[in-house]
Structure 1
């Protein structure tokens, strides 16, 4: 009996022991907004028991643990949660609903109207500095490269960014947050000025063709925000030489690598190229000029950053054209231009707050002299002299609310003082535009975000105040697909050259509505935008002729009764992945625009607006040949032209028509002889660029005689232009950067 009793006890103990190790099944489903989440790690805390959810969010595992346990659910894109469970002898079903973790990298970005290229931005980088240098036909200029993007019109006879039916003066350019007045060099009628600023000065840019941030104002159409480079990686010396320019520069980095300084000097002259090529323009003084700049950058011990950049340039040009007036043989225009610009910025973090301040000063002088020539004798000389001083100050305080939400606000002061002397007409214009703004980024989730802002401005000259609300919303439709909508109200002072002191003027106004769908994957980007812009209170002008000389004719504003609209669609596709070592993009813009402004007698399609524009850019880098081959092509439907004159105090169209369609195929090569030299202490690049390879005879517009009986076409200074240059950097090898950015 005793033995049997012992056996029973042992048997019961054995079954109890085995039962304690019996496996219990734990299963369930993990969801977010009623959809299963794959790849969620589900584990019993402090054990090795667990599983990973499948494609539908289901999981299942077995465990021998008993009693009170904690079940954890972890995923990189969702907040981790724990559930307390009691494990007994029965299988259990445990479901969990996760909450999305707001993440700066995964969050959708508001991008309607904007194209970003910056190492700090999460949007697809479209035009980096190396992109600009290697875009055939851009001539290394930021503004020219932007002409190959949707929304920007190709207008060759005058400088500026003509964005979505807006004039070149309706888009503004900023450096480190501060306004750049006179970004382009002084120019003569019919020949556009060039960028004054070196592309390599900037590490990134944000180009907004509409609906831009409340931090920026005084632009009806668009804004280009440029971000200057920080400290260099090491000291270097650069040298560039070509038949049209010679320049040199250096950057010195201190031993502690917390400060640097540098300077450059250059000279350009088109005289040699004029002797080689058959120019359309008869330069009596070939375009030439000096330029120089200086900079310093200091990183403080507390993490602050000072940047200073200062530059100057002078330019001269003289041109002779056949006179449209029968009593003269030629008309002559001579220009002397001077400009200086200084920019100082400071950035510092104070606890949870980031302070950005900047100030800039610029001075510009344009001295134009007009005369006529008969039998080699000059006469009837007149002068248009314009002097301007400009000061800008801006301060912005930024505070992050969470990883993708922020609040920022600040104020801005813009002071302008200009004098204009044209014959008997003398103007002295002074204005202080005071602005305050506030803006918030609201990240509701990784799929939904908004930007809400408001800007208020007061003009001392106009004695008027405006308030401009702006709003944008972005939503992720699918993994790689996002959509954005933006609305904004924008104001701009009348251009000072039109202002008559007796006129009671107001701000010009535009409203932007922009809808965007974008797909961005690794190496590919597709973007579609539709927009509508409404213009109100545009300036209306009449022409005055102080000395009965056509060259002195100026326009003076007399009311704000102008209006207009611009609407259209744009498509952009860029692909760096499909074809090995090939980067290409294609853009298309459709624009329907009409305006009644300036001297237009009624609502007309603007003479700077082309209905259809197509651009294609392709870049192929061949490592074996150490060579990059770059192509670009632009087609633009012919723009309208008008001969508008004032008769009996009324503006009338004397004649008009449509220009021939614009076509240009451009080609460039860049050769890197230092490729493969790992220990190279210098970087060299040889550049050959051919603009308008096929020699297409494009026409930008027409000039008319005083009686309208004679006309002449406004054409490029040269149909086909060839540039050859060599650039050398000592002390730093940039070869690999150049290769990486071309592959």
Structure 2
């Protein structure tokens, strides 16, 4: 009994010591004086700890003693350690955490650009599958971009006309390499089409201004296309319609580390020309063929080697009413050929990410202008163009802490030859460029991009230096704002210059943006100002209208004394949430622009610039019907038009006015019979598309007679165009894409 009593007394004594030595640790966790929930608070190298509640408070009991370390950690916040001394007395330890700054959480600079890709940052605004389902885009990337803010509706000429800039002021890149001759060869008044199939690309970044220093030689904007890495599986596709036939085979190896593919297509507008009443009098309807091939290799380190090559040819012949008394008609015939190769390599070496690539383009265009009298061609004038372009580029990127630094150089070599009747012009130029920029993340709510680019043109024998900077700030969880400034240079278009007594053309961009990103919704407001300097001024070697079909080949630059400005506001709203299974977007652009360039006698609003442009796009997939319905509408205020002649070396404005307002309602429907079938290894789509379903008679401009007393309207080839086709894929099940409005 005595022994038991002694043991109980000893046990009670020890327990009282333990209880006496226990310490309660408590406090409040905050961020910018606001309480933080679910922050883990632990005593280092022990199991003692707690988690903060909704008020930021935490509390736990520990029997540890002596000098210890209290650790505070939580998602998206920097971990901190606070030394404490445990002496058996209750202690209060408050903590004020800092946001964890990293690339994923940091605010993204978006002023001037719209990105659509599979990258974690991007709110996908115009993916490749969006392009296919945009009524009126006809599956073309540049046509679909016309439904975004900032892009003008210019139907008579190919190119992206952005924020008061010409089509030549937008450059297009594939995997970082410049694409020369992105569009098919064309004749005056009829725009060329995209040469590249939209399915080649997994995403794009369309920058309508203020773009990265990695890219140059573009006064207005850049379109950056990123090709797919590897196909999902081996597959075969073909498409058929009254307009074209196409086939595509992609082979993926068993290890899914490499693939190769070939494709071919043939197009001819002749059948549709017999079914519809065309505005354009085609003596030979547009027709062409193309073949392309590719291979892709995934390296052991996760890098990629990609190659794409293509050849294509197109031809057409167009007749128009002659203004001359001695002739019945004018005729222009085209034969064009193009070859393009693109090779890129992306790999990570230690801390460095290396992107290296090269591209080559050969293009030939043969135009034959003639007068026709009693079905006999007379006074033929042949214009032949041959051009070779080689592009090479190296970009090295490295993370430095939470920031990113990239730098590199680029070479662009041009070799062109033009024959106009007895006149011959040769143009050779090597543009050497170097660039560097850094992405700076100050906090998750504040980031910046600062860079610069320098270029040297061997033809101009001049250097330029262009600094660029952008800043982004997160106002709240959903609202961000961005500012961007950049200086941009571009060589004068080679078709206008006949000597090297010129300088770079220049544009300065100022951009302000406010954006709201919420689940299923995106709102963007952007205001911009562009100042143009050193634009080229031209005069004509013949006394004829600037809209005469061959006049664009007979104007040559006199000097670099031109200039101008463009300013405006843009709105973009996309909503996938409000209406069930309906995706729609609305855009509005206001543009105020004037230019004194080319053959303009003084500063004028450009004839490709509309003050007000409105776009609406809507898409809905009805699962029960296995059918997708797509609508698009465009309204653009009438553009100005001018009749400018050259008289004794002076450009004279003879006639001017405003075109009627442009409007067009487009509709397409896609029927997918394989939707709902399990384990389907084939995918079939039937497509019906109607452009300008209301038949509006839009006008793009006028051609004038030599005396200015007569004119004819430049119209689209056909007012209303109907397309029907079927597309079949074997080996790839794209049902989910169709269900998600992404056919």
Task: Compute the TM-score of the two structures, normalised by the length of structure 1.
Answer: 0.96
Name the structure 1 match of 2:35.
36
Q: Distance in 1 between matches of 2:621 and 2:370?
A: 50
Task: Give the distance between the partners of 1:709 and 1:151, measured in 2 at CA.
Answer: 36
Matching residue of 1:694: 694
* Separation in 2, partners of 1:259, 1:62: 56
Structure 1 partner of 2:281: 282
TM-fit CA distance, 1:88: 4.4
1:333-372 counterparts in 2 under 5 A? 333-372=332-371
Distance 2:14 2:247 in 1: 90
Question: How far apart are residue 439 of structure 1 and its match?
Answer: 1.0
1:301 Cα offset (Å): 2.7
Contact 2:28–2:52 under 8 Å retained in 1: no
CA contact (8 A) 2:545 2:706 kept: no
Aligned residues of 1:619 and 1:742 also touching (Cα < 8 A)? no
Deviates more, 1:443-452 or 1:145-154: 443-452
* Aligned-residue CA RMSD (Å): 2.2
Match of 1:538 among 535, 539, 543: 535
Report the secondary structure of 1:63's partner residue: strand
In 2: Cα distance, 1:259 partner to 1:491 partner: 39
Out of 462, 465, 468, the residue aligned to residue 466 of structure 2 is: 468
Alpha-carbon distance between aligned partners in 1 of 2:695 and 2:741, rounded to the nearest angstrom: 30
Task: Give the count of matched residue pairs.
Answer: 736
Which has the larger displacement, 133-142 or 416-425? 416-425
In the alignment, structure 1 residue 452 sits paired with structure 2 residue 450? yes
Would you say 1:527 and 2:524 are equivalent positions?
yes
How far does the alpha carbon of each residue in 1:122-141 deviate from its partner, in whole angstroms, 9 at most, with x for none?
Answer: 12111111100000000000
Alpha-carbon offset, residue 52 of structure 1: 1.5
Matches within 5 A, 1:144-159: 144-159=143-158
CA distance change for structure 1 residues 64 and 218 in 2, over 3 Å: closer, same or farther? closer
Residues 27 and 59, structure 2, Cα contact 8 Å, conserved in 1: no
Q: Is the 8 A contact 1:23 1:62 kept in 2?
A: no
Counterpart position of 1:682: 682
Q: Look up the match of 1:620.
A: 620
Measure, in 2, the Cα distance between the counterparts of 1:608 and 1:722. Answer: 27
- Residue in structure 2 matched with residue 739 of structure 1 by the alignment: 739
Contact 2:102–2:441 under 8 Å retained in 1: no
Equivalent residues in 2 for 1:483-502, closer than 5 Å: 483-501=481-499
CA distance in 1, matches of 2:274, 2:222: 39
State the alpha-carbon separation in 2 of the partners of residues 452 and 532 from structure 1.
Answer: 20
Structure-2 separation of matches of 1:434 and 1:364 = 22
In the other structure, the counterpart of 2:725 is 725
Aligned-partner Cα distance in 1 for 2:112–2:11? 77
1:134 is matched with which residue?
133
SS in 1 for 2:72: strand
Worse-matched range after superposition: 117-126 or 295-304: 295-304
Give the aligned partner of residue 326 of structure 2.
Answer: 327
In the alignment, the residues of structure 1 paired with residue 625 and residue 544 of structure 2 have an alpha-carbon distance, to the nearest angstrom, of: 62
Provide the C-alpha distance between the structure 1 equivalents of 2:395 and 2:610, rounded to a whole number of angstroms: 38
For 1:444, what is the secondary structure of its paired residue? strand
Structure 2 counterpart of 1:435:
433
Task: Please identify, of 590-599 and 644-653, the stretch whose mean Cα deviation from structure 2 is larger.
Answer: 644-653
For residues 60-84 of structure 1, the C-alpha deviation after alignment (integer angstroms, 9 at most, x for no partner) is: 4242535234432111111222323
How far residue 303 of structure 1 moved from its aligned partner, in angstroms, is: 3.3
Which residue of the partner structure matches residue 103 of structure 1?
A: 102
Cα distance in 2, alignment partners of residues 698 and 600 from structure 1? 25
Quote the offset at 1:324 in angstroms: 2.3
Aligned residue number for residue 478 of structure 1: 476
**Deviation sequence 1:43-67 (CA, Å, 0-9, x none):** 4443354231425xx3042425352
Q: Shift of the alpha carbon at 1:506?
A: 0.4
Q: 1:16 deviation in Å?
A: 6.9
Q: How much has 1:433 moved relative to structure 2?
A: 0.4
Aligned to 1:250: 249
Q: Cα offset for 1:204?
A: 0.6
- The equivalent of 2:165 in structure 1 is 166
CA shift digits 1:541-595 (9 cap, x unpaired): 0001299996544110010000000011111111112222111111111111000
Q: Does structure 1 residue 54 correspond to structure 2 residue 54?
A: yes
Give the SS at the match of 1:130.
helix
8 Å CA contact retained: 1:583, 1:742: no
How far apart in 2 are the matches of 1:16 and 1:365?
A: 96
Counterpart Cα distance in 2 of 1:616 and 1:634: 7
Query: SS of the counterpart of 1:449?
Result: strand
Q: 1:371 to 1:66 in 2, by over 3 A?
A: same
What are structure 2's unaligned runs of at least 5 residues?
none
User: Per-residue deviation at 1:625?
Assistant: 0.8
Shift of the alpha carbon at 1:648? 2.2
Contact 1:174-1:180 within 8 A present in 2 as well: yes
Shift of 1:710: 0.2
1:696 is paired with a residue whose SS is: coil
Q: Do the aligned partners of residues 613 and 547 (structure 1) sit closer, same or farther apart at CA in structure 2, a change above 3 Å counting?
A: closer
Contact conserved, 1:236 with 1:731, CA < 8 A, in 2? Answer: yes
Instruction: Tell me if structure 1 keeps the 8 A contact 2:545–2:703.
Output: no
User: Partner residue of 1:558?
Assistant: 558
Structure 2 CA distance for aligned equivalents of residues 18 and 361 of structure 1? 84
Distance 1:193 1:673 in 2: 34
Q: Which moved more, 1:576-585 or 1:20-29?
A: 20-29
Question: How far did residue 11 of structure 1 move?
Answer: 11
8 Å CA contact 2:448, 2:471 repeated in 1: yes
Q: Match of 1:510?
A: 507
Q: Is the 8 A contact 1:30 1:53 kept in 2?
A: no
1:440 to 1:240, Cα distance in 2 relative to 1, 3 A: same
Q: Which moved more, 1:469-478 or 1:372-381?
A: 372-381
Look up the match of 2:716.
716
Partner of residue 174, structure 2:
175
Q: Mark the CA change 1:17 to 1:215 in structure 2 (over 3 Å): closer, same or farther.
A: same
Tell me if the contact between 2:681 and 2:730 (Cα under 8 Å) persists in the aligned partners.
yes
Instruction: Note closer, same or farther for the CA distance 1:302–1:64 as it changes in structure 2 (3 Å cut).
Output: closer
